[in-house]
Structure 1
Amino acid sequence: MTPIRHRLLSAIAGQLGRPHGLLGPLVARVLNRGNGKAIADAVDAAHVQPGSSAADVGFGGGIGLRLLLDRVGDNGNVHGVEIAEAMLRRARSALRHDVQSGRLRLSEGSLTGLPFPDASLDTVITLNTVYFISDLDAACAELARVLRPGGRVVVGIGDPEVMRRAPFTRFGFTLRPVTDIAAALTKTGLTVEQRRIEDKPMPRYVFVGLRP
């Protein structure tokens, strides 16, 4: 691999993990376009109810926040958690009326350090985020910790075997077997359902965890 190609692929991976700088807005649009169906499916799988409290962890371009706001309605609230300051700024601007009304609350945070009390959320979705964490068990424990009894968490990933073919995933991505993710969620006490979705060009897996 040439040094230029190495730098280019590393830069792409870095932007996908944490959009930033002048490319941040472009990456946000790419994420919304490329992940729109997967995010909509995750919201459906979460069974978000009117008046409930929902969160999108690692919301990226923000399309999931809009979908969750529609589902919880005027009497519910949505939390957006991001490590990328550029994405937080973008969401504050694009959804400022929801932020001002208190329906949307945006916070800096990560899967392994969620800014919520125990048992405070009805639903949590997180897509294409577990690639960028080193401690899967800690992340799954956090997701389970913040769920109320009867709450649901939805974790979405691309098929790891297919993703390995993308050259940029060599840089900063941890592509775990599907069984590892299901096991880590189950270990927290959640009842886990696993689904494979045959999307093109990227098949996906969705894990739905229900807290008893």
Structure 2
Amino acid sequence: MNSVRARLLSTLAGQLGNPHGVLGKGVAFVLNRSNRAAITGAVAAACLAPGGAAADVGFGGGAGLPLLLDRVGAGGVVYGVEISPDMLARARASHRGDLDAGRLRLLEGSLTALPLPDDSLDAAITVNTVYFVPDLAAACAELARVVRPGGRLVIGIGDPGAMAKLPFTSYGFTLRPVPDVIAALEQAGCAVEHRRLAGTPIPHHLLVATPR
């Protein structure tokens, strides 16, 4: 029984990091529902103006894409960067009009290899993704690379203590103390503001970083 439970939890953890296949469709729905408050908070913290350029890195089920599109308006552009081909296909099917208009651009990539030029964004958000990155410093440096000086990079993470109590996070998650993530952002050349987000199923932290 324990081995069956371990396999189920390991499968779930793997899907959360890279949703795919039939199970991935259900995971996408769950991600959108459970992460919506944190994503909404991250989008608000990004302080985007109409006409801006923004990215949701590791957008998963895609809940952040329409929120960013609303913020940048008709004259702006949103980049959705995702490691999962299935989630990219899902987003393409949901946003054909925005893609045809050039307002949304969907790209395959990861936190440590973003397919974007230096200083190309006014803001970037990534929510509940850094658990799956072995090299946190490289991820923060890459995110800071693509956001212009004075722009905003917002990382949303679940409280490590609360996340550790979930049964699946011992399978492939790296739950780092919040100060470690802040230190990695500062090492990447950012000034960091730490905010706590209320009203989420799991307590969340928003790290609002400004590249210098």
TM-score by length of 1: 0.98
The alignment partner of 1:152 has SS state of strand
Give the distance between the partners of 1:149 and 1:186, measured in 2 at CA.
Answer: 14
Q: Tell me the alpha carbon deviations over residues 69-122 of structure 1, each in whole angstroms, 9 at most, x when there is no partner.
A: 000000000000000111000000001110111110000000000001111110
Does the residue aligned with 2:26 lie in a helix, a strand or coil?
Answer: helix
Alignment partners' CA distance in 2, 1:128 and 1:19: 13
Q: Which residue of 1 aligns with 2:128?
A: 128
The equivalent residue for 2:103 is: 103
Could you tell me how far 1:3 is from its partner in structure 2?
1.0
Tell me what 1:148 maps to: 148
Measured in 2, the distance between the counterparts of 1:154 and 1:83 equals 19
SS of alignment partner, residue 170 of structure 1:
coil
The corresponding residue for 1:29 is 29
1:89 equivalent in alignment to 2:89: yes
Cα distance in structure 2, aligned partners of 1:13 and 1:149: 35
- State the Cα deviation string for residues 115-174 of structure 1 (Å, max 9, x = none): 011111100000000000000000000011111121100000000011111110011100
Deviation at 1:199, TM superposition (A): 3.5
Q: Provide the C-alpha distance between the structure 2 equivalents of 1:5 and 1:149, rounded to a whole number of angstroms.
A: 47
Instruction: Count residues in correspondence.
Output: 212
User: Where do residues 160-179 of structure 1 align in structure 2 (5 Å cutoff)?
Assistant: 160-179=160-179
SS in 2 for 1:113: coil
For 2:130 and 2:74, how far apart are their aligned partners in 1?
A: 31
Does structure 1 retain, via aligned residues, the 8 Å contact 2:38–2:197? no
Quote the sequence identity (%). 62
Distance 2:186 2:155 in 1: 13
Q: Which runs of 4+ in 1 moved over 6 A?
A: none
Deviation of 1:17 (Å): 0.6
Aligned twin of 1:59: 59
Whether 1:44 and 2:47 are equivalent positions in the alignment is no
* Separation of aligned partners in 1, 2:189 and 2:112: 17
Q: Unpaired runs of 5+ in structure 1?
A: none
- Segments of structure 2 that go 5 or more residues without pairing to the other structure are none
Q: Secondary structure at the match of 2:206?
A: strand
